[in-house]
Protein backbone atom coordinates (compact mmCIF):
# COMPACT_ATOMS: atom_id res chain seq x y z
CA UNK A 1 0.00 0.00 0.00
CA UNK A 2 1.29 3.45 -0.83
CA UNK A 3 2.03 6.06 1.81
CA UNK A 4 -1.04 8.07 0.75
CA UNK A 5 -3.17 4.92 1.01
CA UNK A 6 -1.92 4.22 4.53
CA UNK A 7 -2.61 7.80 5.61
CA UNK A 8 -6.12 7.63 4.15
CA UNK A 9 -6.78 4.32 5.94
CA UNK A 10 -5.55 5.77 9.24
CA UNK A 11 -7.78 8.84 8.84
CA UNK A 12 -10.77 6.61 8.07
CA UNK A 13 -10.06 4.45 11.12
CA UNK A 14 -9.72 7.56 13.31
CA UNK A 15 -13.14 8.83 12.14
CA UNK A 16 -14.69 5.49 13.04
CA UNK A 17 -13.01 5.49 16.46
CA UNK A 18 -14.22 9.03 17.19
CA UNK A 19 -17.78 8.16 16.13
CA UNK A 20 -17.77 5.03 18.30
CA UNK A 21 -16.34 6.96 21.27
CA UNK A 22 -19.08 9.60 20.99
CA UNK A 23 -21.79 6.93 20.75
CA UNK A 24 -20.32 5.07 23.76
CA UNK A 25 -20.20 8.31 25.78
CA UNK A 26 -23.84 9.08 24.90
CA UNK A 27 -24.98 5.57 25.79
CA UNK A 28 -23.09 5.78 29.08
CA UNK A 29 -25.28 8.76 30.04
CA UNK A 30 -28.63 7.09 29.30
CA UNK A 31 -31.05 7.11 32.26
CA UNK A 32 -33.00 4.30 33.92
CA UNK A 33 -30.26 1.66 33.53
CA UNK A 34 -30.51 1.77 29.76
CA UNK A 35 -26.73 2.15 29.55
CA UNK A 36 -26.41 -1.49 30.58
CA UNK A 37 -28.62 -2.81 27.79
CA UNK A 38 -28.27 -0.40 24.85
CA UNK A 39 -25.13 -1.07 22.81
CA UNK A 40 -23.37 1.95 21.27
CA UNK A 41 -23.83 0.35 17.84
CA UNK A 42 -27.62 0.68 18.28
CA UNK A 43 -27.31 4.40 18.94
CA UNK A 44 -24.83 4.73 16.06
CA UNK A 45 -27.26 2.89 13.80
CA UNK A 46 -30.08 5.21 14.91
CA UNK A 47 -28.00 8.33 14.23
CA UNK A 48 -26.75 7.15 10.82
CA UNK A 49 -30.05 5.73 9.69
CA UNK A 50 -31.97 8.74 11.01
CA UNK A 51 -29.82 10.83 8.68
CA UNK A 52 -30.19 8.46 5.71
CA UNK A 53 -33.94 8.19 6.36
CA UNK A 54 -34.15 11.98 6.10
CA UNK A 55 -32.25 11.74 2.79
CA UNK A 56 -34.75 9.06 1.68
CA UNK A 57 -37.76 11.25 2.56
CA UNK A 58 -36.26 14.33 0.90
CA UNK A 59 -35.57 12.40 -2.30
CA UNK A 60 -39.01 10.77 -2.22
CA UNK A 61 -40.66 14.17 -1.83
CA UNK A 62 -38.54 15.65 -4.62
CA UNK A 63 -39.14 12.76 -7.03
CA UNK A 64 -42.84 12.14 -6.36
CA UNK A 65 -44.04 15.52 -5.08
CA UNK A 66 -41.81 17.73 -7.23
CA UNK A 67 -40.98 15.80 -10.39
CA UNK A 68 -44.26 13.80 -10.36
CA UNK A 69 -42.55 10.45 -10.86
CA UNK A 70 -44.75 7.41 -10.16
CA UNK A 71 -44.74 6.51 -6.45
CA UNK A 72 -43.11 3.03 -6.83
CA UNK A 73 -40.27 4.52 -8.94
CA UNK A 74 -39.81 7.41 -6.49
CA UNK A 75 -39.74 5.03 -3.50
CA UNK A 76 -37.24 2.75 -5.24
CA UNK A 77 -34.75 5.43 -6.31
CA UNK A 78 -34.87 7.22 -2.94
CA UNK A 79 -34.58 3.91 -1.09
CA UNK A 80 -31.58 2.65 -3.06
CA UNK A 81 -29.74 5.94 -2.64
CA UNK A 82 -30.37 6.04 1.12
CA UNK A 83 -29.41 2.41 1.64
CA UNK A 84 -26.18 2.73 -0.29
CA UNK A 85 -25.29 5.67 1.93
CA UNK A 86 -26.37 3.75 5.04
CA UNK A 87 -24.15 0.78 4.18
CA UNK A 88 -21.09 2.97 3.61
CA UNK A 89 -21.56 5.00 6.80
CA UNK A 90 -22.39 2.00 9.01
CA UNK A 91 -19.44 0.02 7.65
CA UNK A 92 -16.95 2.86 8.15
CA UNK A 93 -18.21 4.61 11.27
CA UNK A 94 -20.53 2.42 13.30
CA UNK A 95 -19.47 -1.21 12.88
CA UNK A 96 -15.97 -0.42 11.55
CA UNK A 97 -15.85 -3.62 9.55
CA UNK A 98 -12.70 -4.79 7.80
CA UNK A 99 -14.21 -7.82 6.06
CA UNK A 100 -14.05 -8.21 2.30
CA UNK A 101 -16.56 -5.86 0.71
CA UNK A 102 -17.80 -8.29 -2.00
CA UNK A 103 -19.30 -11.02 0.23
CA UNK A 104 -20.51 -8.41 2.69
CA UNK A 105 -22.33 -6.47 -0.03
CA UNK A 106 -23.90 -9.72 -1.26
CA UNK A 107 -25.39 -10.36 2.19
CA UNK A 108 -26.42 -6.70 2.46
CA UNK A 109 -28.16 -6.84 -0.93
CA UNK A 110 -30.14 -9.91 0.16
CA UNK A 111 -31.12 -8.17 3.42
CA UNK A 112 -32.11 -5.02 1.53
CA UNK A 113 -34.20 -6.96 -1.01
CA UNK A 114 -36.19 -8.64 1.78
CA UNK A 115 -36.51 -5.29 3.55
CA UNK A 116 -37.65 -3.58 0.36
CA UNK A 117 -40.29 -6.15 -0.53
CA UNK A 118 -41.71 -6.64 2.96
CA UNK A 119 -41.43 -3.23 4.63
CA UNK A 120 -41.01 -0.60 1.94
CA UNK A 121 -43.34 -1.81 -0.78
CA UNK A 122 -45.46 -4.11 1.36
CA UNK A 123 -46.16 -1.74 4.23
CA UNK A 124 -45.27 1.63 2.64
CA UNK A 125 -47.00 1.27 -0.69
CA UNK A 126 -49.77 -0.82 0.91
CA UNK A 127 -50.67 1.89 3.42
CA UNK A 128 -50.56 4.51 0.65
CA UNK A 129 -52.88 2.36 -1.45
CA UNK A 130 -55.26 2.20 1.53
CA UNK A 131 -55.42 6.01 1.60
CA UNK A 132 -52.62 7.08 3.95
CA UNK A 133 -50.43 9.97 2.82
CA UNK A 134 -47.33 8.51 1.16
CA UNK A 135 -45.01 10.28 3.64
CA UNK A 136 -46.91 8.90 6.65
CA UNK A 137 -46.91 5.46 5.06
CA UNK A 138 -43.15 5.70 4.54
CA UNK A 139 -42.61 6.71 8.18
CA UNK A 140 -44.67 3.72 9.40
CA UNK A 141 -42.72 1.40 7.12
CA UNK A 142 -39.49 3.03 8.36
CA UNK A 143 -40.23 2.13 11.98
CA UNK A 144 -40.64 -1.56 11.06
CA UNK A 145 -37.63 -1.54 8.80
CA UNK A 146 -35.37 0.05 11.46
CA UNK A 147 -35.72 -2.92 13.81
CA UNK A 148 -35.20 -5.43 11.02
CA UNK A 149 -32.20 -3.63 9.51
CA UNK A 150 -30.33 -3.14 12.80
CA UNK A 151 -30.64 -6.82 13.65
CA UNK A 152 -29.62 -7.86 10.14
CA UNK A 153 -26.64 -5.49 9.98
CA UNK A 154 -25.37 -6.40 13.44
CA UNK A 155 -25.70 -10.17 13.21
CA UNK A 156 -25.54 -10.87 9.46
CA UNK A 157 -23.88 -8.14 7.40
CA UNK A 158 -21.19 -7.01 9.85
CA UNK A 159 -20.83 -10.28 11.78
CA UNK A 160 -17.03 -10.17 11.34
CA UNK A 161 -16.84 -7.28 13.82
CA UNK A 162 -18.52 -9.29 16.55
CA UNK A 163 -16.44 -12.39 15.83
CA UNK A 164 -13.29 -10.27 16.29
CA UNK A 165 -14.68 -8.91 19.57
CA UNK A 166 -15.38 -12.43 20.88
CA UNK A 167 -11.83 -13.48 20.00
CA UNK A 168 -10.41 -10.42 21.80
CA UNK A 169 -12.61 -11.04 24.81
CA UNK A 170 -11.57 -14.68 25.11
CA UNK A 171 -7.90 -13.77 24.67
CA UNK A 172 -8.18 -11.03 27.31
CA UNK A 173 -10.01 -13.34 29.68
CA UNK A 174 -7.30 -15.96 29.27
CA UNK A 175 -4.63 -13.35 30.09
CA UNK A 176 -6.42 -11.83 33.10
CA UNK A 177 -8.53 -14.50 34.80
CA UNK A 178 -8.79 -12.34 37.92
CA UNK A 179 -11.09 -9.72 36.38
CA UNK A 180 -13.96 -8.91 38.78
CA UNK A 181 -17.29 -10.51 37.97
CA UNK A 182 -19.49 -8.37 35.75
CA UNK A 183 -16.64 -6.34 34.27
CA UNK A 184 -15.51 -6.42 30.71
CA UNK A 185 -12.04 -7.51 29.70
CA UNK A 186 -12.44 -5.86 26.32
CA UNK A 187 -10.40 -2.67 26.14
CA UNK A 188 -12.81 -0.91 23.77
CA UNK A 189 -15.83 0.22 25.87
CA UNK A 190 -18.06 0.46 22.82
CA UNK A 191 -17.68 -3.27 22.25
CA UNK A 192 -18.55 -4.48 25.75
CA UNK A 193 -22.02 -5.74 24.88
CA UNK A 194 -22.98 -9.33 24.22
CA UNK A 195 -23.72 -10.38 20.66
CA UNK A 196 -26.33 -12.93 21.57
Q: How confident is the model at residue 165 (pLDDT cuts 50, 70, 90)?
A: low
Share above pLDDT 90 across residues of the chain, in percent, rounded to a whole number: 56
Q: How confident is the model at residue 175 (pLDDT cuts 50, 70, 90)?
A: low
Question: Region 48-71: what's the mean pLDDT?
Answer: 94
Buried b (16+ CB within 10 A) or exposed e, 119-149: bbbebbbebbeeeeebeebbebbbebbbeeb
- Return the pLDDT at 163: 63
User: Any long-range contacts for 37-46 (C-beta under 8 Å, 24+ apart)?
Assistant: 39/190, 39/193, 40/190, 40/193, 41/94, 41/95, 41/154, 41/190, 41/193, 42/150, 44/19, 44/20, 44/90, 44/93, 44/94, 45/90, 45/94, 45/149, 45/150, 45/153, 45/154, 46/146
- Is residue 185 predicted with pLDDT exceeding 80? no
- The domain segmentation of the chain, as residue ranges, is 3-167
Q: At what angle do helices 101-115 and 71-89 cross, to 10 degrees?
A: 140
- Is residue 148 predicted with pLDDT exceeding 50? yes
Question: Region 7-17: what's the mean pLDDT?
Answer: 79
Angle at CA 170, nearest 5°, toward 191 and 29? 25
Spatial distance between the Cα atoms of 112 and 86, rounded to a whole number of angstroms: 11
Question: Region 63-81: what's the mean pLDDT?
Answer: 93
Least confident of 33-42, 60-69, 98-107, 179-188: 179-188
Q: How confident is the model at residue 118 (pLDDT cuts 50, 70, 90)?
A: very high
- Is residue 124 predicted with pLDDT exceeding 80? yes
- Specify the pTM: 0.71
Amino acid sequence: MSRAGRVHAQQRAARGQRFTAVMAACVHRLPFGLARIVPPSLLGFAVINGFTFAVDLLLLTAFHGGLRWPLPVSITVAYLTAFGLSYALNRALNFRSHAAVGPQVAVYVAVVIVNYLVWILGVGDGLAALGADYRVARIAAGACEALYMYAAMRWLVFRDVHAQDRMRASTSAARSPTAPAGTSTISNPSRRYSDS
